[in-house]
Amino acid sequence: MQTFRISEAKRNFGKLFARAKRGEVVVLQNGSDFMQLVPFVLPEPVPLRPVGYFQPSDEEIARINAAPADSGPLR
């Protein structure tokens, strides 16, 4: 693990970026504050749902329509 002062990191940021990308531990120092430079992994995107995915089935619609209006919440 190597520690680099901010002024040095500014001059060599591309090299430090490449080192962190390869998996090396890169630590940046600014006075008594320290930060670690690590690669960021993007999360998997949420899959798209087809149109009508959340639409109730015909049976569910019939059950909803058949329930009395004052019967309370449906289950």
In a domain? residue 48: no
Q: Which pLDDT tens digit goes with each residue over 11-67?
A: 999 999 999 999 899 999 999 999 999 888 899 998 888 887 888 888 888 888 887
**What's the domain range around 14?**
2-37
Does the pTM surpass 0.75? The reply is no
Distance of alpha carbon 46 from alpha carbon 33, whole angstroms: 36
If you compute the radius of gyration of the chain from its CA atoms, what whole number of angstroms results?
A: 28
- Is residue 31 in some structural domain? yes
The answer as to whether 74 is a domain residue is no
Phi, psi of 25 (to 5 degrees): -85, 120
Measure the CA–CA gap between 9 and 16, rounded to whole angstroms. Answer: 7
Number of domains in the chain: 1
49 is a domain residue: no
